[in-house]
Structure 1
C-alpha cells in the first residue's frame, strides 16, 4: 500500500512540476491516473481482505470505506484544480498568445509580401535600365569598332602613302646623287673638252700650209729648189722639228681624249648604277650587302679625295642575304647625304666618314654610318626622325622620317647616337638577316 501511495504522490508531484500543459497525450497525467486507479483497486482489495480476516475491525473499515470516496472526491477536486490552474489556464493563455502571434505573423507576412513586390518592381526596373544600358553600350561598342576600323584603314592608307613617299624620296635621293655625280663629271668633261679645243686651236698648222704652198710653187724644179734655194735647204730640218712638235701635240691631245673617255665612262658607270637601282620592287632578293654599300659610296661620295673626306670602310664579309636592296640603298644614301652635310658644315680638315657592316647576331645585320661632323644635340636625337623636322638649311625634314619608316617596314630599327654638338654622329640600321642559301 505504501509503495502505491508513494507512486501516486510522486506522479502528482511530477504533474505539478511538469511544463507540459496539454491534457491529451501527457505521460505524467497518464501515470498519475494509472497510479490512482491502482491505489483505488488496492484499497478495494484491502477492504475485502479486512472484512474477511478482521471482523472486529469491520467498523473501522466501514468508516474507512465511507471516507474513501470522500478522499477520492477530494483528490479529484485537487487534481481538477491543479489541471485548471497549471494546464487549462496556461493553455488558454497559450492559445491567446498563439492567436496574437498568428496575427502578427500574418501582418509580417503581408508586409514581407509588400516589400517583395516592391523589391521585385525595383529589380524589374533595374533590369530594364540595365538592358537599356547594355543596348546603349552595344551600340557604342559597334560605333567604336566602326570608328576603329575606319581609323585603322586610314592608318593603313597613310602608312602605305608614307611608304610610297619614302620610296619616291629614296628614288629622288638616288636621282639627286646621280645628277650631282653626273654634273661633276660633266664639269670635268667640259674642262677637258675646252682644253682639247684650245690645244687644237693652238696647233701650228699655218707654217705647214705655207711650206706646202712653197713646195707647190716650186714643183716644176724641186731638185733645184732644194739644192740652190736657202729656203729649200732648210725645209727638211723644219719638217723634222715640225714632226716632233706635232708628235708631242698628238700625245697631249691623246691624253686629253683619254681623260674625256674616262669621264664619259664614269658617267656611264654612274648611270648604270642608277639604272640598276631604279626598278621599283618590293621583292626580297639575294643581295651582297657589302657591294650595295660600295655602290652607295660611289654614288654619294664619288670624289672623296677632292672633297677632303677620308672614307673608313669596315665591311665584314657576310653571306649573301635575302632583303630588298632598294630599301637598304635608300636608307644608306640618305644617311651618307646627311653625313656629307655634317662634314661640310664642320669645315677644317680630318673629315672622316666611316661605313660599318657587321652581323651582331645570327639573325641580325647592322649597318653604321659614322662621321666626325657637327654632331647632334641630345634633345634632338629622337625628334630628328619626326616628319618635317630638320636641322639642315634648306632641308625638307622627310629623309630620316622616311628612312625610319622603311627600316620599320623591313622589320628593323634606325637609331641615332651623338655625344653632342661638334662631336660627330653615328646612325645604326639593324634589320633581320636571312641567308640567301637558306
Structure 2
C-alpha cells in the first residue's frame, strides 16, 4: 500500500483530481449562487408587485370603512405561495385588517413567544413587531395613500424556505454531476499518463539499475520523440561517455605508474637545484647593502649578513648567538629580556609589526659608538620553526640631512603661518564689519531724536508743566509717548549690547590668532583638554551673521565624545575657515532652487580619534581639483589667495590629526573630514610636522 501512494501515476492523478475538484467546485458554487440570487430576486419582485397592487385597492375600502373587503384582500395576499402574513395598520399602529393565518408555523411561533391565545385588535402591532424579528423572513412595508395623504401601511412577510430547499436540491445535483465528471476524467488521464509517460520512465529506471550493476554496455530503446525520448537519448549518450571515461582512466593509470618510476630522479634533481638556489641567496644576502639578521622566538640571532658586520663593526661569530637586544644602545631592552616571563616576539624591540611600519632605534657598535637604526620586521617559517627577518639600515646621515631640512622648513613655515593668520584675521574682520554696520544702523535709526523733541516741548512749558500735561492736546500725549519711547530705547540698547558683545568675541578671536602665531614662532604649542561640541559651537557662532544674511540652515549632529587635547585657537581657526568656505560655496544655490544646508557632524571614530565632518550642498569640487585643494596658493575664487585650506592642513598636521575632502563633482556639494586625536597634554613640535 505505501508503494502505491509513492507511485508517480497516483501522485499525478491525485494532483489532477485536486485541480478538477477546485475548478468544478468553484464553478458549481458560482452557478448555485447565481440561481439563488435569481430565485430571491423573482420572489422579491413578486412580493413588491402584490404589495403595490394591494396599496392601490386598499384606499377605497379604508375610506368607505369596508374592513371586511380589506380583510378579504389581505386573506388573498396571505394565500399566495410563500406568504406568511399580510396586515394593514393605520398611522397610529391600529389594525385596519384582522386576518391572520393561524396555521402558519411562523405565526404560531410568534403567538407563543407573545403568549397570546386569542388575538385582539390591539395585539396586532406586537405580533407584527415579533414577526419582523424573524431573520428567515423577508419583510416589506407599502404605504396606502389617497390624494397624497397616507391612510395606513401594508405589512407583508414572505418565507425563503422554498428557495433554500430548491437551492439545496440543485447543489446535490451539482455534486453528483461533478463527482461523475471528475471520476471519468481522472481515469482517462491516468491511462494516458501511464501509457505515454510511466512506461518510458520505467525503462529509464531499468537502465539505471543495469548501470549500477556495472553493465555499461547496455542501451535503452528510444520509443518517442518527446521530452522523455530526448531524455533517453541523453541517457544513452551519458553511458557512451562513461564507457569512454573508463578507457581514459585506464590509460591515465598506466601513465601514472610510468611517471612514478621517474619520480625519485626528479626529486634528486630538484634537491640539487634547491641547494644551488640557497647558495645564490646566501651570496646575494652577503652582498646587499641592507643589514639582515634572522631572530628566533627566544630573541637570539641565528644568522647575519656582511652588511650587519659592517654596520656594527663586529664579526659574524660575535653577532650570531647573541641576544638581539645587545645591538641597541638602550640597555633597558636587554635587562627586560632577563625577566622570566619575557617573550621576545611580543615584548622585544624586534617584535612583529602588523602595520609593516619602519621603526627607529639607537644602535650600538662594538666600539661603543651609537647611531640611528631603522628596522623592518617580517615573519617566516624555516624548517617548521617560526623566525623573524629583521632588515637593518644605518640612517645617521639621513637624519643629519633631515635636521637641516627641518630648520629650513621651519623658516618657510613661519611665512606660511603668517599668511594663514592674516587670512583668518580677514575672515574675522568680515564679521567685525557686519557687527559695526549693524550698530551704526541702530544708532542712525534711533528714537533719541524723538526724545530731544519731546524734551524741547517740556522745556517750552516748564513754568506750567502740570497744566500743559493735563489740558494741552500735545501735552496729554507726552506721557504715553515717553513710555513707548522708553521701550524702544530699551530694545535699541539690547541690540547694541548684543552686537558689542559679538565685537568683543571677534576681537578675542583675533588676539588668539595672533597668540597662535607667537606660539608657532617659539617652535612649540601646548595642547589643552577641550569639549569639542563647545569649541565647535563657539567657532560657528562667529559666522552667525553670515548664516542669517545667506539664509543658511545649520544642522548639528553631535555624538557624545571624550575631551580631546588640542590647540584650541588652531582648531577653532580651522573650523571657522571651513564653515565660511561652505557658506560661500552655497551662494549660487538659489539659482538652482536649492536650499542652503550646512551639516556639522561629530562622531567617535575609534579609541584614539574622533571625526568632525562639515558638509554643504553647494557648488562642489571637480575631480581634477580634489587633489589640489590643500596646495599652497591654489584657489577657485576670483578674490581668493589659496592660503586658507593650506593653513588648515598645516594646523591639522601639527596637531597630529588629518584633513581630507570628498565631493562627487560640480553642484554636488563637498564634505570636509577632520580626524582629531584624543591624545594627552603635550608640546607639539610644529617645525617638524609642517605640510609642504
TM-score, with structure 2 as normaliser: 0.37
Contact 2:626 2:661 in 1 (8 A): yes
* Alignment of 1:335 onto 2:578: yes
**Aligned-partner Cα distance in 2 for 1:232–1:379:** 77
Q: 1:353 aligns with which of 575, 598, 617?
A: 598
**Aligned-partner Cα distance in 2 for 1:170–1:211:** 63
Q: 1:254 aligns with which of 478, 490, 494?
A: 490
Q: 1:279 aligns with which of 508, 515, 521?
A: 515
Cα displacement (A) at 1:388? 1.7
CA shift in 2, pair 1:240/1:357, >3 Å: same
**Aligned-partner Cα distance in 2 for 1:291–1:162:** 33
| Cα shift readout 1:281-304 (whole Å, capped 9, x = no counterpart) | 311111222222112101234442
Aligned position for 2:430: 180
Cα displacement (A) at 1:330? 2.7
**Aligned-partner Cα distance in 1 for 2:558–2:533:** 6
Long gaps (5+) in structure 1: 1-144, 217-221
SS of equivalent residue, structure 2 residue 454: coil
Aligned position for 1:157: 407
CA shift in 2, pair 1:331/1:212, >3 Å: closer
Long gaps (5+) in structure 2: 1-394, 520-524, 682-692
C-alpha RMSD of the superposition: 3.2
**Aligned-partner Cα distance in 1 for 2:526–2:666:** 39
Contact 2:425 2:513 in 1 (8 A): no
Cα displacement (A) at 1:347? 3.9
**Aligned-partner Cα distance in 2 for 1:245–1:285:** 54
Contact 1:196 1:257 in 2 (8 A): no
Q: Which moved more, 1:181-190 or 1:319-328?
A: 319-328
**Aligned-partner Cα distance in 1 for 2:447–2:469:** 33
Contact 1:320 1:435 in 2 (8 A): no
* Alignment of 1:234 onto 2:475: no
* Alignment of 1:195 onto 2:445: yes
CA shift in 2, pair 1:308/1:262, >3 Å: same
- Aligned residue runs from structure 1 range 39-188, under 5 A: 152-153=402-403, 155-188=405-438
Cα displacement (A) at 1:371? 0.7
**Aligned-partner Cα distance in 2 for 1:232–1:271:** 48
Aligned position for 2:499: 263
**Aligned-partner Cα distance in 1 for 2:477–2:450:** 18
Cα displacement (A) at 1:154? 5.3
**Aligned-partner Cα distance in 2 for 1:261–1:170:** 31
Aligned position for 1:374: 619
**Aligned-partner Cα distance in 1 for 2:474–2:603:** 68
Aligned position for 2:350: none
Q: 1:322 aligns with which of 542, 545, 565?
A: 565
Between Structure 1 and Structure 2, whose CA radius of gyration is higher? 1
Q: 2:646 aligns with which of 385, 389, 401?
A: 401
SS of equivalent residue, structure 2 residue 597: strand
**Aligned-partner Cα distance in 1 for 2:415–2:542:** 21
**Aligned-partner Cα distance in 1 for 2:453–2:428:** 37
Structure having the larger proportion of residues in strand: 2
Aligned position for 1:18: none
**Aligned-partner Cα distance in 2 for 1:233–1:335:** 63
* Alignment of 1:292 onto 2:535: yes
CA shift in 2, pair 1:250/1:328, >3 Å: closer
Aligned residues: 279
CA shift in 2, pair 1:325/1:426, >3 Å: same
Cα displacement (A) at 1:359? 1.5
Cα displacement (A) at 1:373? 0.7
**Aligned-partner Cα distance in 2 for 1:250–1:366:** 50
Q: Which moved more, 1:193-202 or 1:356-365?
A: 193-202
TM-score, with structure 1 as normaliser: 0.56
| Cα shift readout 1:349-375 (whole Å, capped 9, x = no counterpart) | 511111122121111221111111100
**Aligned-partner Cα distance in 2 for 1:330–1:273:** 9
SS of equivalent residue, structure 1 residue 185: helix
SS of equivalent residue, structure 2 residue 446: helix
**Aligned-partner Cα distance in 1 for 2:544–2:412:** 27
* Alignment of 1:209 onto 2:459: yes
**Aligned-partner Cα distance in 1 for 2:424–2:645:** 15
- Higher RCO (C-alpha under 8 Å, 6+ residues apart): 1
CA shift in 2, pair 1:414/1:383, >3 Å: same
CA shift in 2, pair 1:277/1:312, >3 Å: same
CA shift in 2, pair 1:402/1:159, >3 Å: farther
Cα displacement (A) at 1:206? 4.0
Structure having the larger proportion of residues in helix: 1
CA shift in 2, pair 1:159/1:336, >3 Å: farther
SS of equivalent residue, structure 1 residue 373: coil
**Aligned-partner Cα distance in 1 for 2:562–2:582:** 27
